[in-house]
Amino acid sequence: MYKILLVEDEEKIREIIKSSLEKWAFQVCYVDNFNNIFEEFSKESPHLVIMDINLPVYDGFYWCNKIRTISKVPVLFLSSRSTNMDIVMGINMGGDDYLTKPFSMEVLIAKINALLRRTYSYMETSVNTIDYKGIVLSLKDNTVYYENKKLELTKNEFKIIHILMKKHECIVSREKLMQELWEDESFIDDNTLTVNINRLRKKLKEIGLEDLIKTIKNQGYIIK
């Protein structure tokens, strides 16, 4: 079953679209906090996004551009704006198709099916992110996103947080981390891992995540 994320702030239109798509056996989730559309996208990992352009806070062009930093998932713009400039802008911002309001539900369904068929029949598309409590780790470019803040990591810093987020709420031993970071940890000073952890914690503090990585004495590290 394909999952569709609906980003539409007009409740009546949202409910009509949601009801119609569910009749076509789509799984539909929608955004109701328009400050956190990027986090919602990462958490839901949809196969397709229907994006209104006129939204609170930032417009649909902005959010599509943000999504394109981590994913190639198809985005279908839905808008009352119908000028050629708006359509061109939508495509240039990474949109895959554009439908103007008022619209026919049959046309919307046809466009959705065409995008899904084109995307998933010929290529494997992955969101390429890990999300935990609103913290989004992009596997594509070694970057952490949190509350609209972006943090770029070094190769080792990325490996550490990747391992800990994959095993979130489980303790990961220092030995396991060292094996993952350096294939033969016997040649690595134990202090090297500590230095890397401390650098990572310092960077995470800059975006408000100073307590993300916890030390469990004599056992290792945990994210929870």
CA dist 8 → 29, 34, 80, 207 (Å): 11, 9, 12, 29
User: Mean of the per-residue pLDDT values for the chain?
Assistant: 87
- DSSP one-letter code for 206: H
**pLDDT for the residue 216:** 94
Taking residue 153's Cβ as centre, other Cβ atoms within 10 Å add up to: 21
Residue 72 φ/ψ, nearest 5 degrees: -105, 15
* pLDDT band, residue 101 (cuts 50/70/90): confident
202 compared with 88, residue with greater pLDDT:
202
- DSSP one-letter code for 36: -
Among candidate residues 133, 144, 107, the one with its CA nearest the CA of residue 43:
133
d(CA 56, CA 60): 9
* pLDDT band, residue 173 (cuts 50/70/90): very high
Taking residue 123's Cβ as centre, other Cβ atoms within 10 Å add up to: 9
Encoding tokens for residue 141?
A: 């470019």
Is pTM beyond 0.85? Reply is no
Helix axes 11-23, 105-122, angle to 10 degrees: 60
**pLDDT for the residue 123:** 45
CATH numbers and ranges of domains, the chain:
3-122 (3.40.50.2300), 129-223 (1.10.10.10)
Average pLDDT in the 149-161 region?
90
Encoding tokens for residue 27?
A: 């799984």
pLDDT in tens, 6-62: 999 999 999 999 999 998 889 999 998 898 899 889 888 899 999 999 999 899 999
d(CA 66, CA 20): 28
